[in-house]
Structure 1
Amino acid sequence: MLQAIGLTSTPRGDRPPAVNDLTFEARPGAVTALLGPSGSGKTTALRLMLELEPGRGITYFRGRPLHRIAHPPREVGVLLGDVPGHPSRTVRGQLRMLCAATGVPAVRAEELLRSTGLTGLERRPIGTLPIGADRRLGLASALLGDPHTLLLDEPGAGLSASESAWLYEFLRSHASEGGTVLYTTADPKDAARNADRVVTLDGGRLVAAQEAAEFARTRLRPRVAVRTPHAARLAAAVTQEARAARRPVEVVTEDGNRLSVYGSDCASVGDTAFRHGVPVHRLADETGDAGTAGTAGMTGVDAVAGAGRECGAPGGSTAGPRTAVSASRGVEPAPVTVAHDAPAERPVAARRPMRSPLRPLRYEVHRLLGVPSTPLVMAGVLLVSVTLALLLGRGGRAALPAVLAGWPAISPLPPAALGAGLLGAFSFAEEYRYPALTSGRGTVPRRPGLLLAKLAVAAVVALVLGTLVVAVDLGALRLFYGGELIPVPGKWPVLCANWAGLLVGCAWAGVLGAGVFRAAAAGVAAVLVVPVAFVPLLQKVLTGPSVRSAAGLPARLREFAGPHWPPAADRWLTGGLRVLGQPAGVALSLTLTGLFCAYVFTGLRRRARW
């Protein structure tokens, strides 16, 4: 049982609220349509139910508000618009990533690929899917947690007749298994044909809540749709015979060669056309919007839409459906009875529930490996690094660390560090550009688990990238210049520690920079600002006459390192302290500290707004 009580959105400026004191219910085992024209508040109502929109009121999902449900995706499945996924990600990759976010086994993705008819499209990029397959993918994403309730915003918009029929049959099967289905639509005939119960909105307020049969009887007006090349002749003939028989028949001339006859049936109109020798190409019983069939002078009103029952007109070809206007005018509000099986709770302002992945590490790995940008960046870094290594090693005068890293002889930052920072920036930038962790287009949740997963994966990727760069550069140098000219320095553990610290620091700067400023460019800028601006400034400050030199900083830090460690561990610890003691290490440490504080501050500020 879904119960919406007193939903009211927060007004924006001087405009009235999009949804005002909306109360209704959607029963389990039934499909409920939320009907209303564009701008009536249907989508805002769904967002209020999901606590994605600021406002008042409360929605109970089987007796519990959303912010008190431990795992919302396992109770409520949501489809608001298109699938919020990276266009280069495959269908299977998208579902597996969302499986990790929902906390269900990856085999659930394979089950839904079969049940939603996406078999054969598993490796298709999301950006290349037709609208029907995209809607099926959205439905599969909503069903990953096997939810009891489905909330869908205009699920049939833009679909073909066959795709629309499949969709509503699928929703009907979900309801027949005891689930609750609520979807929005602007077409009254769609609501009467596919829903068990219709809730009508107008101007953000409840107009009526009726069973589908009652809605069709009181809100939709039956008519006969006719298509003939002699529409004027047939209209005159039907009107003349109706007057002679004193029958209340109304004929509305539509665009071109179409008529809508109200108050008659197919047999009577067909007989009239036969007697007057008028050819008929289509003759069908339809239901039209009661709000648009007022007088015969309303020519060209969009009331011919909908699937009618064909009456077997000879040579009839079915005309394409047209969109009907809303049926929310001229109807008295109907009382709504809300069941009292939910615990009494005072409606409060909606709070945004945190929607972070239940398995953040697995989610982040799927997110990283599911897009082509990751291998492309790594391949580009390897190519640039090999080129720089061959150029620097040509004369044989450059030191091996500078040759392998390509730094700082040519660029202020090693290509590997820049690549690690770029991949780190993508980790949060993709969340903001293609949000997959929230039902709407809201802020990416800032749970510690998600941040730690991104930092951990970024660090591992940076270390893997750094190892590949060194191995490939060393192999290329030995291949071109011979192995005897490439001696390995004796202090290679310290050099490795410096190299690893630089790569991981740049990767984390990219993650935090993109997380704070919500863009990949900001993450890359946070990486570049360290060697380009911060390090030169810090060198000038630390080498001033009134400031002690930073050369002895590692030794001073070593004094506070605690007890003595084994020699092997002591070498690694000394290498780490030397990284912190160098200007680049100090600058990177200060940058990471500042970005982390900004990340925490902005997260708390956004949370306070809700």
Structure 2
Amino acid sequence: MIEAFGLTSNPCKELPLAVDDLSFEARAGHVTALLGLPGAGKTTALRLMLELQQGRGIAYFRGRPLNRIPHPSREVGVLLGDVPGHPARTVRGHLRMLCAAAGVPVRRADEVLEVVGLVSLRDERLGTLSRGMDRRLGLAGALLSDPHTLVLDDPAGGLSTREAQWLHGMLRAHASQGGTVLLTTSDPKEAARNADRVVTLEQGRLVADQKAGEFARTRLRPRVAVRSPHATRLAALLTKEARTAQRSVEVVREGGNRLSVYGSTCADVGEAAFRHGILVHQLADETGDMGPGAGPTTVEEPETAAAPQAPAQPSSADADPEPETAPQPSAPAETPRSEDAELHSSAPAEVPRTDGETTAAADPPAKTSRSAETRTPDALSVLPPPISVRPAPSPLRPLRYEIRRAAGISTGFVTGAVVLVVSALTAVLLARVGHTPQARLLAAWPRELPLPPAALGAGLLGALAFGDEFRHPALAADRGTVPRRLGLLVAKLLVAAATALMLAFLTVGCDAEVLYLVYGRELAQVPADWISTSASWIGLVVGCAWAGVLAAGVFRSTTAGLAAVLAVPVLVVPLVQKALEGASVRAAAGFPLRLRQVFLLQWPFGGERYLSGVARVIAQPVGGALTLSLTALLCAYLLTTLRSRVR
């Protein structure tokens, strides 16, 4: 059950509040629809409930706010807009990555793929999915952790009729098992057909909170949709005849050549047009929304155009039909039908299940059976089996997630291959020119460049670790593993360090091998001081990777992360050199000896030597600048994390 109290968005300059003191509830075992025009505040209300947007008020999910739930993804399944995933990631890889983030078994990905009918597309890239398949994948991600509550923002928007029926069948199946379903829609007929309760919003305020049957009686009104090139003349004629016959008929101009006639029938309108020789392009029964904010934008076009059967105008019978929304490639086209006639019967078909009331409809037996068929979930509308989740100790779960995130796309592998090729070519050119120390030759680091290719590649991969999180926020709805969580930061630092170490060793090995093949053994020899050189090399590459991770996490951008990596040798190193070259009263000579005296006891395996080696690396200008930059970025990251938690 969801209980929302006083949801209010923060004011934005002189604009009205998107959500203003909104309170409602969505009960377990029911489908609740938030209905409103575009801009009514439906999406903002969901984001306030999920704590994804700053504002006032509170929302309880089964008696607890979201920030008090240890694993939010196991309580609330969320689908806001399109599936937030990297377009180059596969369907199965995306779900497996989310399994690692939520701490559920990896086999769960295959279970939900089978339920939503995406088994045959599990190796497809997210960027190639159609709208209908994207909705299926989004629902699979929402069901991944077997949540009690589903929160979906316009889940059927842009879907074909068949896909929308399947989706609502899945939501009905979830509610029938005791779950809570909250969705948004701008179509009153969709809300009346598929929801048990309809909460109507207008300009961010609550207008009505009704059961589906009551909503259908009070808000939906039958009408005749007419399209004619002589709409003005026909409107005046219908109004005059209704006044003469003392009938309650209302004619509304919808814009252009479109009329909506309330209180009449297709036969009466068609006969009136025929008697006066008025050409009619469209004549169809519809159901209109007569509630708050009703207007031309809320009118749903009929899927099929009914034409008047006028003998004098046979050629106009099929003229200018209203096109049906093109179905997705994955869903076969359906036989054309009148959605209005179905709605007029499908809304009453829902009512006995919610409040036991019915509304009048023409031809009850046939339409009731069709509505029941629409409401019944098809073969795919079977929810996956429940799962038993064992909480994994942090940071094991974020670490698994980060490994799957980094290995799920080819960006890291392509970047590594490019770094190896560029480094090998640079080493060959440096050896040909000469006058390059052996250590710089093996690292392919010309004096003219601020950083070697391996360090730049490690910094780029580190920046992508957080840059992809903000560009494709797959974890935005999961408050337990959002990018600001410190456990996820530790996981990203560990994976970035491992990737940087691998890239550093591969680069040196590849450069040495290429130099041996081209110039012989002389240029491939290992330097005498290889221990200190290796420590400096590893520290440089890992430091660049960490700088990219932290900067991208602070500035929420891959470009900013890479810029921070380049700023270390370009800006920070000159400042450190000036500080070290300045006049000083004290010197740090004899630091290793004093370090040994401070620790008194000898470290096992000569550990004090490695400690003093690290100190010497940090004492260098590049090492000091990198250490200073990492410290500043880490402090900034912790500060932004604490600020987001305090808010």
Residue type of the alignment partner of 2:186: A
Partner of 2:510: 472
Partner of 1:394: 432
Partner of 1:26: 26
Partner of 1:584: 622
> Partners of 1:517 and 1:18 in 2: how far apart?
27
Residue type of the alignment partner of 2:562: V
1:422 aligned to 456, 460, 468, which one? 460
Partner of 1:339: none
In the TM superposition, what are the counterparts of 1:198-209 in structure 2 within 5 Å?
198-209=198-209
> Partners of 2:17 and 2:560 in 1: how far apart?
36
Partner of 2:375: none
Structure 1 residues 20 and 252: alpha-carbon distance in aligned structure 2, compared to 1, 3 A threshold: closer
> Partners of 1:281 and 1:10 in 2: how far apart?
48
Is the Cα contact below 8 Å between 2:75 and 2:148 reproduced in 1?
yes
In the TM superposition, what are the counterparts of 1:458-537 in structure 2 within 5 Å?
458-483=496-521, 485-537=523-575
Is the Cα contact below 8 Å between 2:222 and 2:287 reproduced in 1?
yes
Partner of 1:195: 195
> Partners of 1:307 and 1:31 in 2: how far apart?
25
How far has the Cα of 1:285 moved from its partner?
A: 2.8
Residue type of the alignment partner of 2:108: R
Residue type of the alignment partner of 1:156: A
Secondary structure of 1:359's partner? helix
Secondary structure of 1:157's partner? coil
> Partners of 1:217 and 1:358 in 2: how far apart?
54
Is the Cα contact below 8 Å between 2:281 and 2:307 reproduced in 1?
no
How far has the Cα of 1:84 moved from its partner?
A: 2.4
Residue type of the alignment partner of 2:204: G
Partner of 1:335: none
How far has the Cα of 1:70 moved from its partner?
A: 1.5
Deviations 1:319-361 (A, max 9, x none): 2479x9xxxxxxxxxxxxxxxxxxxxxxxxxxxxxxx998110
In the TM superposition, what are the counterparts of 1:175-254 in structure 2 within 5 Å?
175-226=175-226, 246-252=246-252
Matched, 1:170 2:170: yes
Secondary structure of 1:224's partner? strand
> Partners of 2:23 and 2:499 in 1: how far apart?
51
Structure 1 residues 549 and 402: alpha-carbon distance in aligned structure 2, compared to 1, 3 A threshold: farther
Partner of 1:404: 442
Number of residue pairs matched by the alignment: 573
Structure 1 residues 21 and 561: alpha-carbon distance in aligned structure 2, compared to 1, 3 A threshold: same
Structure 1 residues 409 and 143: alpha-carbon distance in aligned structure 2, compared to 1, 3 A threshold: same
Is the Cα contact below 8 Å between 2:466 and 2:483 reproduced in 1?
no
Matched, 1:151 2:151: yes
Structure 1 range deviating more: 513-522 or 545-554: 545-554
Partner of 2:263: 263
Matched, 1:305 2:306: no
Residue type of the alignment partner of 1:479: L
> Partners of 2:43 and 2:553 in 1: how far apart?
28
Structure 1 range deviating more: 12-21 or 237-246: 237-246
Structure 1 residues 388 and 358: alpha-carbon distance in aligned structure 2, compared to 1, 3 A threshold: closer
Structure 1 residues 159 and 486: alpha-carbon distance in aligned structure 2, compared to 1, 3 A threshold: same
> Partners of 1:378 and 1:308 in 2: how far apart?
53
> Partners of 2:23 and 2:276 in 1: how far apart?
54
Structure 1 residues 67 and 498: alpha-carbon distance in aligned structure 2, compared to 1, 3 A threshold: same
Partner of 1:45: 45
> Partners of 2:254 and 2:561 in 1: how far apart?
58
Secondary structure of 1:564's partner? coil
Is the Cα contact below 8 Å between 2:469 and 2:483 reproduced in 1?
no
Partner of 1:385: 423
> Partners of 1:66 and 1:395 in 2: how far apart?
63
How far has the Cα of 1:166 moved from its partner?
A: 2.8
Matched, 1:369 2:410: no
Structure 1 range deviating more: 467-476 or 443-452: 443-452
Deviations 1:54-93 (A, max 9, x none): 3333222222222222211111111222222233333333
> Partners of 2:554 and 2:277 in 1: how far apart?
75
> Partners of 1:482 and 1:504 in 2: how far apart?
30
In the TM superposition, what are the counterparts of 1:56-205 in structure 2 within 5 Å?
56-205=56-205
How far has the Cα of 1:462 moved from its partner?
A: 0.6
Structure 1 residues 190 and 307: alpha-carbon distance in aligned structure 2, compared to 1, 3 A threshold: farther
Matched, 1:602 2:628: no
How far has the Cα of 1:133 moved from its partner?
A: 2.5
Q: TM-score, normalised by structure 2?
A: 0.78
Residue type of the alignment partner of 2:289: D
Which segments of 5 or more consecutive residues in structure 1 lack a partner in the other structure?
A: 295-299, 325-355
Is the Cα contact below 8 Å between 1:30 and 1:196 reproduced in 2?
yes
Structure 1 residues 99 and 535: alpha-carbon distance in aligned structure 2, compared to 1, 3 A threshold: same
Is the Cα contact below 8 Å between 1:260 and 1:304 reproduced in 2?
no
> Partners of 2:211 and 2:617 in 1: how far apart?
72
> Partners of 1:7 and 1:445 in 2: how far apart?
25
Query: What is the percentage of aligned positions where both structures have the same residue?
Result: 62
Residue type of the alignment partner of 1:496: S
> Partners of 1:357 and 1:151 in 2: how far apart?
28
Partner of 2:322: 319
Structure 1 residues 203 and 572: alpha-carbon distance in aligned structure 2, compared to 1, 3 A threshold: same
Secondary structure of 1:168's partner? helix
Structure 1 range deviating more: 521-530 or 561-570: 561-570
2:469 aligned to 428, 431, 442, which one? 431
Is the Cα contact below 8 Å between 1:190 and 1:306 reproduced in 2?
no
Deviations 1:360-401 (A, max 9, x none): 101111222233331222122112210121122236664432
How far has the Cα of 1:107 moved from its partner?
A: 2.0
Q: TM-score, normalised by structure 1?
A: 0.83
Is the Cα contact below 8 Å between 1:52 and 1:442 reproduced in 2?
no
> Partners of 2:430 and 2:297 in 1: how far apart?
73
Which segments of 5 or more consecutive residues in structure 2 lack a partner in the other structure?
A: 310-316, 326-339, 341-393
